[in-house]
Amino acid sequence: MIESATFHVMTTELVVGSFALAGLCFFLHSVFLFLNKESKFMPMMDTTAHVALLFGLLSLPFAILSGIESSPSGAHTSPLLANKMLLSTAGGGLALGVLYTRWKMHEDDRPHHLHNAFGSLSTACMLLTASLGGTYTRADSLTEFLPFVKENTLLLPSWLSIVVIALILAALLMRQSSTVQHR
């Protein structure tokens, strides 16, 4: 039987590798948009970015659950582990939004710089999460310049969380009842 810590390392490598590939492809897609709009690599970069993002997103729950299971005291006991959970779920939510948006705009000819930026931001969240994992296990990572993530967890107060949820629901309802025809 495989231990949860070993399984966590395997799934984390899948998530980080696929998100890193997606981030690189999103970046290259934006570069090709700036340089040469008719490049033959544009569709390849776009497709590769979204497939890698989807694979990373599908691997993410396994990495999160095995990470919680392999932690000796649980994710709620350490600000560092809580920040890892927040960043990984934020990156997953951004990835889900990017994939949904791509599905909706599949034949759109407008530049996709904002779309690529959100895909890259999702990648940044995942890479920062992985770096915090290095801080937790080896006390060494690329996040040494961010000392606040080790001692503090940045959370919204309850009232502000409720306001944000209400705004999101209102925006979703307004989009459904809009008189503008959406594609």
Q: What is the pLDDT of residues 117-176, one digit of tens each?
A: 888 999 988 888 887 776 666 666 666 666 655 666 667 678 888 888 888 888 878 766
Nearest residue to 175 via CA among 101, 115, 96: 101
Instruction: State residue 17's pLDDT score.
Output: 93
Q: Are residues 132 and 115 in the same domain?
A: yes
Q: Are residues 74 and 8 in the same domain?
A: yes
Write out the residue range of the structural domain in which residue 139 sits: 4-152
Residues of the chain above pLDDT 90, percent:
14
Q: Are residues 100 and 112 in the same domain?
A: yes
Q: Are residues 84 and 112 in the same domain?
A: yes
Q: What confidence tens digit (pLDDT) does each residue in 148-159 have?
A: 556 666 676 788
CA torsion, points 156, 121, 5, 13, in degrees to nearest 10?
180
Q: Are residues 137 and 161 in the same domain?
A: no
Q: Are residues 158 and 137 in the same domain?
A: no
Task: Name the average pLDDT for the chain.
Answer: 79
Q: Are residues 40 and 114 in the same domain?
A: yes
Label each residue of 30-69 as H, E or C.
Answer: HHHHHHCCCCCHHHHHHHHHHHHHHHHHHHHHHHHHHHHH
The number of domains in the chain is 2
Contacts of 167 (CB under 8 A, 6+ apart): none
pLDDT at 52 over 90: yes
Q: Are residues 79 and 169 in the same domain?
A: no
Confidence (pTM): 0.76
Q: What confidence tens digit (pLDDT) does each residue in 85-100 have?
A: 788 888 888 899 888 8
Q: Are residues 158 and 147 in the same domain?
A: no
